[in-house]
Amino acid sequence: MVKSVALARRPGKGKKLAAYFKRYWTLYLLLVLPLTYFIIFRYIPMQYIQIAFKKYSIVKSVWEMPWADNNGLEYFIKAFSNKDFINAVRNTIMLNLLDLIFGFPAPIILALLLNELPYPRYKRVTQTIAYMPHFLSWVIIAGLARQMFAPTSGLVNNFLAKLGIEPIPFLNDPKWWVVTYVALGIWQSVGWNTIIYLAAIAGINPELYEAAEMDGAGRFRKMWHITLPGIRTTIVTLLILSLGRILGSEFDRPFALMNHMVNNVANVISIFVYKYGIQALQFSLATAVGLFQSVVCVIFLFMANALAKKFGERGVW
């Protein structure tokens, strides 16, 4: 807690405030530009969120549009009474949880692994190659995945056939599709996500490692007692932000990987919004669903943040 030494004595409140601003006015000056940015590019368009409660008309301004039926809740009702929407929510949560359970620790483990690599050039090469998949768009990755995992002509299944194993429907069967979906997600992002952790590890004082070495600590002891605590803030921050996206739904990955055999697991909220909302020009419905997602995400963010604070962490808020 930074307490300004000059304000240790407390004069009258008004004078105190004035003195405060005289000292720290530059901080507010710094914030002017970002706040202006947020107001213009985020808050002004945000007025359109109210179309979730209105009958959208493309030729009227937002304030002129009439209110939707059922006290403006018509589109929410429409969404929740749609079986496909409930299905989409279920799928979104399921896939996001799997991504979290398997995809969140993966870059941490990889960062620790890379940190253990004693050959600097090899380390640099590995890092550079590991994050290459991040640069391929999902359309391309899906094309490659189909080539690899197709039941009869795919490389992997051909290889399995040679070993006498039945072809595995990596992308055709719903259960296998989920596995492939999560695995490809990890493959694409793990190298990239290690960058933050490696940067955080780089900020740890090397003297700590030397001291531990002298105490006779082995590789894993050092990891557990120095490295992990050293990047704890980063981990917690990213975990809170990830939990806050539990109902968020990316579009590219499921859209590129889905096919007509797996729609009962692949249909996530973003795809629902695309089919029922955007392609069908039902903007109010799309916005209503988006608003629902946002509200749930904020609630989760709040909860995760409070939980972190209970454990003594700083939190995001």
Partner 1 sequence: MIKSKKSKVGDLVVAFLCFILIVVCLLPMLNVLARSLSSSEALIKNKVWIWPVGFNLESYRMVLSDTKYTWSLIWTAILTVAGTCLSLFMTTICAYPLTYEHLKGRRFFNTVILFTMYFNAGTIPMYLLLKSIDFLNRPVVLLVPYCLSVFNMIIMRSFFYGIPDSLRESAELDGAGPVRILVSIYLPMSMPVIATLALFYAVGRWNGFSDSLMFMKKKEYFPIQHWLYLLINSMTNIETTTQEGFAPPGLSESLKSATIMFATIPILFVYPWLQKYFITGATLGAIKE
Partner 2 sequence: MKRTLSILLVCFMMVTLLAGCGAEPAATTPTPSQQSGQPSDSGQPSESTPEPEIVNRRFTKTRSITVEVYDRNNDGGSPPEDNFYTNFIKEGMLRDHNVEVTFIPVGRWTEVEEINNLLAAGDAPDICVTYSYPTIQTYANMGGVLDLAPYLTEYKDLLPNLYDLLGERNLFWNQDPVTGTVWAIEALLFNQARINTFVREDWLKKLNMPEPTTLQEFENMLYAFKNNAQLLLGSEANQMIPFSISFDIGWRADHLLAAFVPNDLTDKEAYIRGFDDRHILYPGIKEGVRVLNKWYNEGLIWKDFNLYGQGDSTEDNLMKAGYVGSFIHNWDYPYRGGDDGIHANLQKLVGPEAGYIAVAAFKNDAGLYRKFLSNPIDRKVFFPSTNDEPLASLLYLDWISTLENRRFLQIGEEGVTHEKMPDGAIRLLSATGDKIMNSPNNIDYTITINGLDLGDPDLNAKSLAFNYAGVDPRYIEKAWPLSMLDGRIIPQFNVGEIKAEEGMGPALSQKRDNFLVQAVSCPPDQFDAVFDAGMQDYLNSGGQAIIDERAAKYAEFYE
Is 48 near partner 1 (CB under 8 A)?
yes
Is 317 near partner 1 (CB under 8 A)?
yes
The site string for partner 1 over 162-181 (x = CB under 8 A, - otherwise) reads: --------------------
Question: Which residue's CB is nearer to partner 1, number 106 or number 266?
Answer: 106
Q: Shortest gap between Cβ of 11 and partner 1 (angstroms)?
A: 16
Structure tokens at 266: 């692949």
- Identity of residue 195: I
At 121, which helix (H) or strand (E)? Answer: helix 120-130
In the region spanning residues 256 to 295, those forming contacts with partner 2, defined by CB under 8 A, are: 258-261, 263, 275-276, 279-282, 285
Eight-class DSSP state of 67: B
Give strand pairing partners of 227: none
Is 51 near partner 1 (CB under 8 A)?
yes
Distance CA(180)–CA(174), nearest Å, equals 10
Q: Are 201 and 111 in contact (CB under 8 A)?
A: yes
* 286 φ, ψ (degrees, to nearest 5): -60, -45
- Among positions 15, 67, 86, 147, the unique one binding partner 1 when judged by CB under 8 A: 147
Distance CA(261)–CA(159), nearest Å, equals 24
- Among positions 80, 102, 104, 187, the unique one binding partner 1 when judged by CB under 8 A: 187
Q: Shortest gap between Cβ of 164 and partner 2 (angstroms)?
A: 16
8-16, 102-110, 147-155, 239-247 -> range binding partner 2 (CB under 8 A): 147-155
Is 83 near partner 2 (CB under 8 A)?
yes
Is 246 near partner 1 (CB under 8 A)?
no
Structure tokens at 205: 């004082």
Is 105 near partner 1 (CB under 8 A)?
no
Eight-class DSSP state of 54: B
Eight-class DSSP state of 296: H
